[in-house]
């Protein structure tokens, strides 16, 4: 995650991109839960970082489980400014500042224990879904932001664990596992969000593995990507992204807000 990538026309370290995406998503959840100065518990949330030190719960309760979004209201951190390059309709580019609260900070070293964190997430979503209060809620959504490196498991083990996570759910459906792949700077492949389901998505091994690990987007949620879909793309769609932009992440965190009491987001 210390390598460089191109994100939103801006050269950034992968760990900085992961931090930006996570901070943006948390800010959005907090903002969307604010009503007339009060915080509504529309979401439960947990944020996990994983590196050579293992798993570090950044946002979680004392048992490393999910917490109500209202618990974040009194501990909002200081904001930090990101300079993001925006491409205008005429093809020119301009730099715009984006201020986000610094819920998490960049961290990347040692092996990436992706299997260990997925195992932890399996336990986390199982506990949440087993709670009778959550049985009729929108199912958990797991967002894994990664460069694809994994130092503690084989491909088959990761695929099996991803499948086990996706088998856990509520009466409203099963857990959605969405992988956001941060490609290398030299990778000139197009950025994409919610690609069509196909046997071979990419010749990049890590990209293809994460694509295979991702959930298929339920038909009833396809409305959220109607404005993002390319004309030639065919349904069904994979819950997968490669270098997704800020605006596209906004579409991701919007899942479950219409007519749903809860939307759980372990990352």
Q: Please list the residues that pair with 84 across neighbouring strands.
A: 96
pLDDT digits (tens, 9 = 90+) for 72-123: 887 899 998 888 777 677 778 888 888 999 999 988 777 889 999 999 999 9
Q: Using CA atoms, how far apart are residues 28 and 128, in angstroms rounded to an integer?
A: 22
Q: Using CA atoms, how far apart are residues 242 and 60, in angstroms rounded to an integer?
A: 27
Structure-block tokens of residue 1: 């995650």
Domain count, the chain: 1
Structure-block tokens of residue 19: 């931090």
User: Beta 38-39 vs 34-35: how paired, if at all?
Assistant: antiparallel
pLDDT digits (tens, 9 = 90+) for 12-66: 899 999 998 899 889 988 888 888 878 889 899 999 999 887 898 999 887 768 9
Q: Would you say 102 and 79 are in contact if contact means Cβ atoms under 8 Å apart?
A: yes
Q: Domain limits at 202?
A: 4-266
Q: Please list the residues that pair with 38 across neighbouring strands.
A: 35
Q: How far is CA 255 from CA 9, 131, 154, 181, in A?
A: 26, 21, 31, 19
Q: Using CA atoms, how far apart are residues 152 and 52, in angstroms rounded to an integer?
A: 11
pLDDT digits (tens, 9 = 90+) for 197-244: 887 788 899 999 999 999 999 988 887 776 665 545 678 899 999 887
Q: Would you say 3 and 17 are in contact if contact means Cβ atoms under 8 Å apart?
A: no
Residue 258 confidence (pLDDT) above 50? no
Q: Using CA atoms, how far apart are residues 249 and 23, in angstroms rounded to an integer?
A: 11
Q: How far is CA 119 from CA 58, 108, 258, 263, 266, in A?
A: 17, 20, 30, 21, 13
68: domain CATH number is 3.40.50
Q: Would you say 237 and 196 are in contact if contact means Cβ atoms under 8 Å apart?
A: yes
10 Å CB burial of residue 247 (0-12, 13-18, 19+) is exposed
């Amino acid at each position: 995650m210390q390598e460089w990538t191109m994100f939103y026309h801006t050269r950034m370290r992968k760990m900085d991109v992961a931090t930006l995406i996570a901070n943006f998503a948390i800010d959005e959840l907090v903002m969307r839960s604010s009503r007339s100065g009060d915080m509504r518990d529309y979401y439960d949330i947990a944020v996990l970082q994983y590196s050579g030190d293992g798993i570090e719960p950044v946002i979680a309760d004392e048992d490393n489980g999910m917490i109500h979004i209202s618990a974040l209201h009194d501990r909002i951190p200081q904001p930090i400014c990101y300079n993001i390059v925006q491409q205008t309709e005429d093809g020119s580019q301009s730099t715009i500042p984006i201020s986000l609260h610094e819920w998490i900070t960049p961290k990347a070293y040692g092996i990436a224990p992706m299997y260990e964190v997925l195992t932890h997430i399996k336990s986390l979503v199982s506990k949440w879904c087993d709670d009778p209060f959550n049985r009729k809620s929108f199912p958990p959504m797991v967002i894994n932001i990664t460069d694809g490196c994994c130092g503690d498991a084989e491909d088959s083990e990761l695929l099996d664990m991803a499948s086990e996570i996706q088998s856990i759910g509520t009466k409203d459906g099963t857990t959605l596992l969405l992988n956001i792949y941060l490609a290398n700077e030299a990778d000139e492949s197009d950025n994409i969000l919610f690609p069509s389901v196909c046997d071979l998505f990419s010749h990049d091994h890590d990209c293809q593995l994460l694509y295979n690990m991702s959930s298929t987007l339920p038909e009833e949620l396809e409305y959220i990507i109607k404005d993002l879909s390319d004309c030639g793309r065919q349904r069904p769609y994979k819950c997968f992204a490669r270098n997704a932009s800020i605006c596209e992440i906004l579409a991701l965190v919007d899942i479950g807000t219409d007519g749903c009491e809860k939307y759980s987001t372990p990352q």
